[in-house]
Each structure stands twice: as C-alpha cells, then as structure tokens.
C-alpha cells in the first residue's frame, strides 16, 4: 500500500487547529519539531488523518482543511483505519514510524469540535511513534510495510 503526504501541520499548543508547513523535521522517539504533541514520554508522538476523512466533513458542509482536526500529517491513498497496531510506515527518504494507536477517546469537546462542528480525528485518526527521524515534506511518498 502506497500513499502520500498531503500536508504537514504543527501547533505550539494542544487542542487547537494546526497550521500547515511545507516541510518539518521529525525526531526519533520524539515527533515533529515545534509541535505541542511531540514528546518522548508517550506513544502518540505524531498523528495522521486521511484527506479522505476531511473530504467527508467538507461534503457535510463544514469549512475544514488539512490541519483543522489537529492532525500532524494529512495523508492520501491509505486506509489508515485498516492498519493494525505495530504496522511500520516509511515516509519520504527513510523516516520510519510505527502505528501505536487507532483513534482516541475525547473526554471533552476541544476547540476543534466547536470551531469545526464535529471532529473526525477521534474516530478516523491514527497515532504513530517515531522509530527513525528525518526531514518530511509535502508530497513525500508513504509506504506501508505489513
């Protein structure tokens, strides 16, 4: 299975929409440099959401774009929810990540829910931990190793 990076998104605070950047540095066992969710302390170092999920929300009339659901990497062409925990992905020129969580539980409705009217991230987003870092840019290829 092969897909691509549509957008890379970061924010300096949790629970808010992320802003797109053309490229970023992903650090081993940490996450994306400059992003509030990056941490060596947990398994949700980088979040991924498919542009196909965002398009579903747009089809419902929501004015949303990549990064609006606080995902770090917006992907295209990969059914993220079908990837079992432990699946390895190679991004770009050798970045390696491992799926560590599918979806998440939202205990409170965050700013994204109130700004967008709904949030697909808890239902359709996945989380990965970084096995090998490097530079990531828009358009990078994502290869799934099952």
Q: Given a cut of 90, is residue 16 above it in pLDDT?
A: no
- Domain of residue 137: give its range: 2-145
109 alpha carbon, distance to own chain's centre: 19
72 alpha carbon, distance to own chain's centre: 4
pLDDT at 49: 95
For residues 49 and 122, the answer to whether their CB atoms sit within 8 Å is: no
Report the percentage of the chain scoring pLDDT > 70.
87
Q: Given a cut of 80, is residue 120 above it in pLDDT?
A: no
User: What CATH number did the domain enclosing 99 receive?
Assistant: 2.40.33.20
For residues 142 and 89, the answer to whether their CB atoms sit within 8 Å is: yes
Q: Number of structural domains, the chain? A: 1
pLDDT digits (tens, 9 = 90+) for 40-76: 988 999 999 999 999 988 887 888 899 988 899 999 9
- Of the listed ranges 10-19, 23-32, 81-90, the least confidently predicted one is 10-19
Select the more confidently predicted residue: 72 or 103.
72
pLDDT at 96: 98
Tokens representing 99 are 């799926």
Handedness of CA 104, 107, 111, 117 (dihedral sign): positive
b/e map 4-23, b = 16+ CB within 10 Å: bbbbbbbbeeeebbbeebee
């Amino acid at each position: 299975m092969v897909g691509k990076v549509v957008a890379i998104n970061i924010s300096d605070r949790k629970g808010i929409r992320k802003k797109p950047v053309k490229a970023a540095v992903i650090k081993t066992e940490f996450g994306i440099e400059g992003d509030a969710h990056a941490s060596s302390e947990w398994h949700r170092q980088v979040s991924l959401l498919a542009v196909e999920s965002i398009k579903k929300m747009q089809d419902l009339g929501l004015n949303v774009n990549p990064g609006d659901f606080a995902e770090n990497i917006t992907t295209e062409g990969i059914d993220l929810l079908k990837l079992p925990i432990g699946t390895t992905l190679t991004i770009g020129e050798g970045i390696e990540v491992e799926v560590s969580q599918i979806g998440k539980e939202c205990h409170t409705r965050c700013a994204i829910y109130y700004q967008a009217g709904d949030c697909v991230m808890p239902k359709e987003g996945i989380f990965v931990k970084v096995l090998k870092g490097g530079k990531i840019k828009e358009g990078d290829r994502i290869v799934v190793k099952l």
